Chains A and B, each alone.
Chain A
Amino acid sequence: MTRSLTNIALFAGVACLILLTGFTSSWNSALLIINMGLISAIMAIGVNLQWGFAGLFNIGIMGFVALGGLAAVLVSEPPTEGAWGAGGFQVIGALLLGFATVALTVFVRAKTSGRLQTIATLVILIGGFFLYRAVFDPAVEAIEAINPALQGNLGGLNLPIVLAWPVGGLLAAGAAWIIGKTALGLRSDYLAIATLGISEIVIAALKNEDWLARGVKNVIGLDRPLPNEIDLQQDPAFIEQAAGLGLDPVTASTLYVKLGYSLMFTAVLVLIFVAAQLALNSPWGRMVRAIRDNEVAARAMGKDVTARHLQIFILGSAICGVAGAMMVTLDGQLTPGTYQPLRFTFLIWVMVIVGGSGNNYGAVLGGFLIWFLWVQVEPYGAALMGFVTAPMPDAWWLKDHLIESVAYMRLFTMGLILLLMLRFFPRGLIPER
């Protein structure tokens, strides 16, 4: 079978799996898998850009995804009444002060040398830190005191949430620029540890900075780009249409909304996919791959390796940020406590490796396939475990334990899939051409 036929067969296979879910359980869960699969595919394209095409080892994806989620809150929430007056500007001022301190340190370090440099750096940094805290703390306290049960944060710009998608990308890109400037010169596994650290810090900040997005108190009931299911169920015209299709209004409304998200997400995926393909087949893309394959040779040809790495790191992270904003839009809430590296960093890596690093089709396939497995391993595992434990006596501790522990099968399965793929198909299901 030729390559392209195999690829079509692979995509058709995944589509069948999802259709099967639709027929056997419900179309709602099938659409949910498709929606998250679309988001996963976008994240996988971002990671594939970094790893597959440029060889950058980024395991801080979770951080960029969470920044995208933060953007959704900052763009769509209405501003909290009185928060800006109470301390909003002061917080911004404090952050600018902190930024100025760092800038001043860099400036002074460039102008001085020797022991004077060390002393000056320390004095500026420590002094700046305390000054920053002196301005920052009271402002935060004032903001968090405003209606803490529901708000206690600055709120956002009250704009449509779809605008948050590009903004999430920009936010992630900004963070990626800072990280890239400092860490991209490092060796591959140092870069990995650095990105891992950054992502943990982003999550820690989201959890703690209540003034920003309410921290672990979560922001719920975000603005939606599509009509609410409840409103649809009240709408006589919609009920009539649903009845025409032979559906009851409740099912019809949930399907309608999910399908709407699917269409929006597909549009974004296609846009990003086409852009990535065009970029990678351009001279720029060939240069990036040449750098990946032989950095020294590329440098000898006069290519600016550092600048290309920085570009692609920012681009890939921005794509993850967009996906993060989309995910929060789909969920309708930002819950910093749910961001876990296994789910948001390493799972995306499994998608890229399984799909085929260095191939965007592979990334998309991997995104859908692995997300499907991540969701479905649990019910399948439960069924399997029920079969295994059936001959065991009832209320035996081992039986209960095995049935209870089924939820953790998915971690095990993902690891197994990753290891088996790396061992037997190291280039993935759809290898790079």
Chain B
Amino acid sequence: MTDFLNAIVALSNFVLIPGLAYGAQLALGALGVTLIYGILRFSNFAHGDTMAFGATMTILITWGFQAAGITAGPLPTALLALPFGILATIGLALLTDKTVYRFYRTQKAAPVIFVIVSMGVMFIMNGIVRFIIGPDEQRFSDGERFIVSARDFKEWSGLREGLAIKTTQGITVVVAVICVTALFYFLNKTRTGKSMRAYSDNEDLALLSGINPERVVMVTWIIVASLACIAGVLYGLDKSFKPFVYFQLLLPIFASAVVGGLGNPLGAIFGGFLIAYSEIFITYAWKKVLVYLMPEALEPSGLVQLLSTDYKFAVSFAILVVVLLFKPTGLFKGQSV
């Protein structure tokens, strides 16, 4: 019985809880990608770097707060800085839209042109982020490190395995839930949200019924920038902030959005968790869990790691390809242009 409990605890500690946090981060990122796809109808390759920009801004403000002695007590100061980071990201997104994307929108350019344009934007944002904060790793989390620390848990339960819940993991999940609830309330209940969905479903009909497309696009960018900034900050808090990592996140984020069905917000969330858990399941060394479950004679000699962690891209990629081959519109019905 204790063995079984130990196995459960080890599993939660190394797989379930980190997966929950990572999944929430991916879901927030994928929501941004999917909204852009639904409303503006292109895959935004600059999304990862938008996240990096949001995180950069938040980090700078966090440092300012820390220097001024303003903290959030047990919570990371970054949470206080987050609203300002979001404002900066919204400003950048709206500026980009006005100077870059609007031209192609009025031209009714092909989606693939938008994608190439977003590559240019990606380069510029990449440059800006590195210009501001440099290419190195930055730490900006403070406050309590753990909600439940492994040692406390061991003392409390008397088990050999400890269960640790990092504050950043808790915050990630809470913030993600708040964001998603607010987003769905907005999309389903408010007038602007409904007009966005209408625009996404059928552009011509939406225009016919007097919806102002520029306003829809503006609101979309505001929401996407906020989501990107939040996702970027949460990821940076939970792991650590490295500018190049955000570009690499693009692949799992796209995989999440596509697997769920591009243009479908619910699908993006589902996709985020599917990708996160698959990545962790396949790259986790299962020995730690299996030693408790298997009889001694059968105990595994190796790490029982299906793939080395560096192949996590391969996991999101494999899921992506399989879904695209068998269900090109994603698991939840998405759009396909």
**Is B226 an interface residue, CB under 8 A from the partner?**
no
CB contact between A207 and one of B125, B255, B310 (< 8 Å): that residue: B310
Say what secondary structure dominates the interface of chain A.
helix
Known interface pairs A186-B324, A190-B324; A418-B119 also in contact (CB < 8 Å): yes
Instruction: Evaluate contact between B313 and A412: CB separation under 8 angstroms.
Output: no
Instruction: Evaluate contact between A137 and B302: CB separation under 8 angstroms.
Output: yes
Residues on B with beta carbons closer than 8 Å to the beta carbon of A350: 123
Q: Please report the C-alpha to C-alpha distance between residue A342 and residue B248 in the assembled complex, in whole angstroms.
A: 11
Nearest residue (CB) in B for A353 is B116
Instruction: Evaluate contact between A194 and B320: CB separation under 8 angstroms.
Output: yes
**10 A-B pairs with least C-beta separation:** A415-B123, A412-B127, A415-B124, A411-B127, A197-B317, A418-B120, A408-B130, A419-B120, A189-B43, A200-B313
CB contact between B254 and one of A193, A205, A423 (< 8 Å): that residue: A193
Q: A182-B325, A196-B250, A409-B127 are in contact. List 17 more A-B contacts (CB 8 A).
A: A57-B115, A137-B302, A189-B111, A192-B115, A194-B317, A197-B317, A198-B317, A201-B313, A204-B311, A340-B244, A405-B130, A412-B127, A415-B121, A415-B122, A416-B120, A419-B120, A419-B121
Residues on B with beta carbons closer than 8 Å to the beta carbon of A201: 311, 313-314, 317
Say what secondary structure dominates the interface of chain B.
helix
Residue of B123, B251, B336 contacting most chain A CB atoms (<10 Å): B123
Residues on B with beta carbons closer than 8 Å to the beta carbon of A341: 247
Q: Please report the C-alpha to C-alpha distance between residue A339 and residue B135 in the assembled complex, in whole angstroms.
A: 16
Nearest residue (CB) in A for B134 is A405
Q: Please report the C-alpha to C-alpha distance between residue A342 and residue B130 in the assembled complex, in whole angstroms.
A: 13
Residues on A with beta carbons closer than 8 Å to the beta carbon of B317: 194, 197-198, 200-201
Whole-angstrom distance between the Cβ of B106 and the nearest chain A Cβ:
12
Nearest residue (CB) in A for B311 is A204
Residues on A with beta carbons closer than 8 Å to the beta carbon of B125: 415
Instruction: Evaluate contact between B248 and A200: CB separation under 8 angstroms.
Output: yes
**Is B128 an interface residue, CB under 8 A from the partner?**
yes
**Is A259 an interface residue, CB under 8 A from the partner?**
no
Residues on A with beta carbons closer than 8 Å to the beta carbon of B321: 182-183, 194, 197
Residues on B with beta carbons closer than 8 Å to the beta carbon of A129: 306
Whole-angstrom distance between the Cβ of A198 and the nearest chain B Cβ:
7
Q: Please report the C-alpha to C-alpha distance between residue A410 and residue B116 in the assembled complex, in whole angstroms.
A: 18
Can you give 12 A-B contacts (C-beta < 8 A)?
Answer: A182-B321, A197-B316, A200-B248, A200-B251, A204-B311, A342-B123, A349-B119, A350-B123, A410-B127, A412-B123, A414-B123, A422-B117
**Is B79 an interface residue, CB under 8 A from the partner?**
no
Type the 1/0 row for B270-308, where 1 means its CB is closer than 8 Å to any CB of A: 000000000000000000000000000000001000101
**Is A346 an interface residue, CB under 8 A from the partner?**
yes
Whole-angstrom distance between the Cβ of B111 and the nearest chain A Cβ:
7
CB contact between A193 and one of B119, B122, B124, B320 (< 8 Å): that residue: B320
